[in-house]
């Protein structure tokens, strides 16, 4: 698949995952502006591209010991960093916030499952 089409599918899937997390997770707050959601999904894709290999390498023993469930820790760290990075961009300031560990956990589950199926299809 062409790299641009893959990028569009990944960003669209991330936007869908963030929107579903906003609907289903109580303390996960996301803006209703679709342009902001797409930009936040693009930031999530960039964080996944840049940080996921490094965090997977560092937390490799934990991932092996937990039989792969440690990947949820990696995804949780990336999702935890998402509002921090998004707040540094002026047009996205306050567009996303995750309040509390349970909201982070359940949002991580939703985003991880959707990303798993998207990467399985690609």
Q: Mean pLDDT across the stretch 78-82?
A: 96
Query: Within 13 Å of residue 100, how many CA atoms lie on the same side as its CB?
Result: 8
Residue 12: CB partners within 8 Å, gap ≥ 6?
41
Percentage of the chain beyond pLDDT 90 is 88
pLDDT of 73 over the 90 cut: yes
Instruction: Measure the CA–CA gap between 30 and 27, rounded to whole angstroms.
Output: 10
pLDDT of 1 over the 90 cut: no
Decide: pTM greater than 0.85: yes
pLDDT tens-digit readout, 8-33: 999 999 999 999 999 999 999 999 89
Residue 120: CB partners within 8 Å, gap ≥ 6?
none
Instruction: Measure the CA–CA gap between 68 and 45, rounded to whole angstroms.
Output: 21
């Amino acid at each position: 698949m062409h790299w641009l089409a893959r990028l569009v599918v990944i960003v669209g899937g991330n936007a869908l995952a963030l929107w579903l997390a906003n609907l289903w997770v109580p303390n996960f707050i996301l803006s209703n502006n679709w342009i902001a959601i797409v930009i936040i999904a693009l930031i999530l894709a960039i964080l996944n591209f840049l940080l996921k290999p490094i965090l997977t390498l560092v937390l490799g023993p934990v991932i092996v010991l937990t039989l792969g469930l440690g990947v949820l820790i990696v995804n949780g760290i990336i999702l935890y960093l998402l509002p921090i990075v998004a707040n540094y961009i002026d047009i996205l300031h306050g567009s996303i916030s995750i309040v509390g560990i349970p909201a982070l956990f359940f949002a991580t589950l939703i985003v991880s499952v959707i990303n798993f199926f998207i990467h399985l299809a690609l």
